[in-house]
Structure formats: structure tokens, C-alpha cells
Amino acid sequence: SGIKIYGITKNPNDDNYMIVMQYTKQGSLRKLLDSKYNELDWNFKIVISYYIANGLNTIHEAKLVHKDFHSGNIVNENMFSSYITDFGLCKPVSQDSSSDEVYGVLPYIDPVVLYKKGKEYTQKSDIYSFGIIMSKVFTGYPPYYDIPHDFNLATQICLGLRPEIKCKVPQLLLDLMNKCLDAEPQNRPTAKELASTL
């Protein structure tokens, strides 16, 4: 199930449209992990990863690519119910990415997208982003929190830099995360495979 959308309205001050959505008590996954990480056990981390993978699978089964998938675009009604939001950049798989612009939050962007300057957003790009989300769920730290988010970081990501995992992570989960972060998109699992593995 997804987050409820109650309606749409237009801001009378600037004519921008706004969507009225279900309030989520825990806020974004980023906020939840920042405030409650030390209270979370591995069962929680696996369950929340499953719900996120399952939501991503729903998007991918609809033949869509999210294109801006990161921990700030995942919200939690409670400690386990996660919903993917912000579909402003979401596009059909069949739609050509002819733009030279790269969108998203740098640490979560597929290195292939960075290298090809925005022309290669695919469902496998979302899988890469999921791998980065897993690193945040596993460690509690934002990816590359100690490195400026600039052109140099983008270059290092293209050259193979991945978030450092400084805590103990069960090997099966670490292997799954690393498959998502593989430099070769064809080696990454599908969202369906992620959900069934978790």
C-alpha cells in the first residue's frame, strides 16, 4: 500500500499546485534514523529495508524509474511502515533520458548517471540508490558525511568510491548492499529480487 493522497490545491499566492498527503508520524527515514538509530536492532533494519524494496518493486512493476530515490524521500507512518514519496522526477522506463542534467542527491546518484551526465537513468539506477539507502540504514550515518558533496566526490564515485561501513553488518546484508552498488548496472539485483531476499 502507498501513502494516501487526499487532494490537490493551488496556492493563491503563486499559482503553484500542492498535494495534500497523509501525515506520517515518524517523518522521513532520514529523520527517523538520525533520532532513533541507537534503538534499532537488526530485525528492524531488515524489515524496513524489505518495505522500501517492496515499494520500489511496485514502482518498477509499473514500468517507472523514480530518479530521486534517497532517505529523505521515504517516510514512515510508524517504525516499520515505509512509503516512497516525491515522484516529481519519476518517468516511464520507455521515456528517453535526453537531458544533460543530473538530478537528485549526489551520494545517491548512480555513477553511470554521473558519468553519462544524466542520460542513463534506469531502474538499475534506483537499485544503486537503494544500496546507498541500505548503507544509511545499516550505519546510521549519511553516505559520505565526512566528504564535501562536490565535483570531486562525483568523480570519486565514478572511480569506485562507495560509503565506508565502519560497523558490524551481517555478511548476507553486506553482500546484498554491495550487489546494489556494483559499478555494472546489469550485475545489480532487481527490486523484486531485493524484496524476496530480504
**CATH assignment of the domain containing 173:** 1.10.510.10
pLDDT tens column, 64-83: 888 888 888 888 877 777 88
CA–CA dist 45, 108 (Å, integer): 19
Residue 2 within any structural domain of the chain: no
Give the pLDDT mean for 100-122: 80
185 belongs to a structural domain: yes
pLDDT recorded at residue 119: 63
Average pLDDT, the chain: 87
Once rounded to an integer, what is the mean pLDDT over residues 127-147? 94
pLDDT at 88 over 80: no
Structural domain includes residue 141: yes
What is the domain extent for residue 96?
Answer: 26-197
In whole angstroms, what is the distance from residue 166 CA to residue 164 CA?
6
pTM assigned to the model = 0.86
The CA distances from residue 110 to 15, 76, 87, in Å, are 34, 24, 18
Neighbouring C-beta atoms of residue 100, cutoff 10 Å: 9
* Residue 40 C-alpha from the chain's centroid: 20
pLDDT at 137: 94
- For residue 14, tell me if it sits in a domain: no
Please give the tally of structural domains in the chain: 1
Percent of the chain with pLDDT over 70: 89
Query: Is 77 a domain residue?
Result: yes
Residues catalogued as catalytic: 68
Does 116 map to a domain? yes
11 is a domain residue:
no
Residue 122 lies in a domain: yes
Q: Which three cell numbers stand for residue 126?
A: 534506483
CA angle 91–81–58, rounded 5-degree value: 30
Number of H helices, E strands in the chain: 7, 7
When pLDDT is cut at 50, 70 and 90, the band that residue 61 belongs to is: very high
